[in-house]
Amino acid sequence: AQSVTQLDSQVPVFEEAPVELRCNYSSSVSVYLFWYVQYPNQGLQLLLKYLSGSTLVKGINGFEAEFNKSQTSFHLRKPSVHISDTAEYFCAVANSGGYQKVTFGIGTKLQVIP
Amino acid sequence: DGGITQSPKYLFRKEGQNVTLSCEQNLNHDAMYWYRQDPGQGLRLIYYSQIVNDFQKGDIAEGYSVSREKKESFPLTVTSAQKNPTAFYLCASSEGLRNEQFFGPGTRLTVL
């Protein structure tokens, strides 16, 4: 069975500083990986996804993530955060060749400090 | 525009009453999902459906029921058997189970 671990429940960071939100997954087969963002009292919105190909994936709002198969990680990064990036971020994994549904992590709250 | 709609945005009910949350999608997706979200607990899957007239229990199905009579619609009923129904409920859809999910805006249910 697949699983995903988000190592930090909350990440405070000053405005214009870089940030990394960590995500590790567990799966015995090839995977698809996703990062979603949720603003307060709203649904989730896809930031980026890895299906195959280049391990560096660029998404919306200046975010990017790198797929590292040997470390089973898919960390999310942004070089300079803005107040508007304050939100909750969810990592998710799915087996690329199977019929199992997507599994979500528990979420990381990013708090950008002015 | 294609997307998922959930109604209402806020819902208040008295304890012991059943309540139905609406979810409609016009993305032509086969799969639909219901999640419950509580502070600090991430997303917990209630039910999902891969195709019309078929659905499966998720991790916390007790006290909930669903139907999938149309491809576009996947309503969730919160029954009086659900011990702690106050939560934020999210509906989602996807082309297939392993594909990216598209989420609705959510319904916040408060049971008084």
B20-48: burial string, b at 16+ Cβ within 10 Å, e else: ebebbbeeebbbbbbbbbeeeebbbbbbb
Partner residue facing B97 (CB), from A34, A46, A101: A101
- Classify A54 as helix, strand or coil: coil
Flag whether pLDDT at B79 surpasses 80: yes
pLDDT band with cut points at 50, 70 and 90 for residue B1: low
pLDDT at B74 over 70: yes
Nearest CA-CA distance, residue B40 and chain A, Å: 8
- Name the amino acid, one letter, at A30: S
State whether A101 and B48 contact (CB < 8 Å): yes
First-to-last alpha carbon distance for chain B, in angstroms, is: 36
Average pLDDT over residues B6-23: 93
Identify the residue with better confidence: B32 or B96.
Answer: B32
Q: What is the pLDDT of residues B25-62, one digit of tens each?
A: 999 999 999 999 998 888 999 999 999 999 999 999 99
pLDDT of B97: 79
Tell me the pLDDT of chain A (114 aa) as tens digits. 789 999 999 999 999 999 999 999 998 788 899 999 999 989 999 999 999 889 999 999 999 999 999 999 999 999 999 999 999 999 999 887 766 778 999 999 999 999
Residues of chain A contacting B33 with CB distance shorter than 8 Å: 101
Structure tokens given for A72: 């089973």
d(CA B24, CA A13): 38
The count of CB pairs under 8 A between chains A and B is 60
Please list every residue in chain B whose beta carbon sits closer than 8 Å to the beta carbon of residue A36: 103
- Could you give the count of Cα atoms lying within 13 Å of A73 in the half-sphere of its Cβ? 14
> Tell me, what's the pLDDT at A82?
97
Pairwise CA distance, residues B89 & B46, whole Å: 10
- Which ranges of chain A would DSSP assign to H, the alpha helix? none
